[in-house]
Amino acid sequence: MKAVIQAGGAGTRLVSVTKDLPKPMVDIGGKPILQWQLESLKRSGILEAMIIVSSKSTAIQDYFGNGERLGMKISYYVEDTPLGTGGAFAYVASKIQEDFIFLLGDLMLDVSWERMIAFHNELKGMITAYVHPNSHPEDSDILILGDDGLVRNILPKKEPRDFFYKNLVLAGAYIISSSLLETFEDIDEPFKMDFEKEILIPTIVCEGVYGYVCSEYIKDCGTPSRYYSVIHDLETGVIAAKNLKNPQKAIFLDRDGVINVFGDYVRTADQFVLMNGVAEAIKMINQSGYLAIVITNQPIVARGDTTMAELHNIHNKMETLLGQSGAYLDAVYFCPHHPDKGFDGEVPELKIDCECRKPKIGMLLKAKERFNIDLSASWFVGDHYRDIQTGMNAGCQTVHLTCGDPNYVGRFTEAKPDYVCKDLMEAVSLILSKKE
């Protein structure tokens, strides 16, 4: 597979940081952003790249040449006039007859591209978009993603959102199918085109875009604050550590009584109330290098007390409220099953003895596979000894919170937490104090 990097034409600059250098040449830890991208691609065996550059500057060509210095083969397409983020696709169509990775040139990243390529090859979409949660969804375009991974819609940041949504945003990295380029083959001359508005969104309408949800590091350096954030993440080792080739650490969180106020079953989004201090605690997890992953039993679906659609709405409210405070969850896993039958209105196909219902560890094993998690280096935080037993079964360290279920032992009398804390903030502070 090859890569195409959009590094010119837009003319945007980071003047206060770079003294008017093109953003792809901004220095990060002694190397241009663009070099970090190329080295990440090379580590995944991608050795050919085409870089789209502006005719107003030869800085990129002068620095990288033909790529021999990096052990790669680099070619260029020079835009005599700015063509936007997608205008060069007509030229690319005449030069590339295979699927390729498309990157925006101002991204600092460290990605195991093999995983994204495998996802793309399995689903065979026209575009696979790298998507992830972020800490500022209010000023980002939000993706609506189906359970099958298909991107259903984009919610522009400028439009009002009077509903709850899952915190997933575009990262600026894509895999483009060669079949998409066929639409450009009859274009004689490239013309100005916005990739998102004129290529991505029409392909979403045609149900041709899938979202690859991942936790690896991708961040644009388009503002001074983000630039200095990237510098900090590089110096503290966060960027390299988040590559999924490395074992990850997670803080697994029960939901009811840990994130939202404990009470009767939460059957509707209106009943979901975020506990005080939870957003700040999860923000601390986000900044620590740990993954923040919810693991929750929700038998109310099997019992017929709520629908799967409303459960998703409840979780969307959780993510919306957290996002409004600058926090995010890397994943939410739930078990909708229940082994006991005989409830009025129950859903028969969900009344099973499954492998995901806590204290079984099926949900944790799914997270382990998806994120390459070292369970022995991870923690489980819950308000019931069922959660503690789950963590013990998975080989995690455990924290019991006293702010939730007052009848926290139940039948799990043999479960013994490693630590006891009053709430999630105290638990996260404890865990991070023990971080190596």
Letter for the amino acid at 266? V
Q: Which residue has the tokens 């502070």?
A: 429
Three-state DSSP class for 323? helix
Query: What sign for the dihedral angle of Cα 153, 143, 266, 396?
Result: positive
67 Cβ neighbours under 8 A, 6+ residues apart = 38, 49, 73, 74
DSSP reduced 3-state for 317: helix
Please give the backbone phi and psi of residue 120, each rounded to the nearest 5 degrees, phi first. -60, -45
Rg (CA), the chain: 23
Distance, in Å, from the CA atom of 281 to the CA atom of 425, rounded to the nearest integer, reads 5
Spot the catalytic one: 99, 106, 233, 254: 254
Q: Which residues pair with 78 in a beta bridge?
A: 53
Tokens of residue 172, six digits: 């600026």
Quote the CA–CA distance of 92 and 52 in Å, as a whole number. 10
Per-residue tokens: 94: 């005449």
Asked if residues 398 and 391 have their Cβ atoms less than 8 Å apart, the reply is yes
| 147 is a catalytic site residue | no
Query: Residue 191 corresponds to which tokens in the numbers above?
Result: 């013309």
Task: Specify whether 254 is catalytic.
Answer: yes
Find the helix packing angle between 424-433 and 278-286, rounded to 10°.
20
Q: Which of 110, 233, 256, 405 is catalytic?
A: 256
Give the tokens for residue 280: 């700040």
DSSP letter for 27, please.
E
Cis amide prior to 406 (ω within 30 degrees): no
Reported as type and span, the H/E element at residue 105 is none
Residues recognised as catalytic:
254, 256
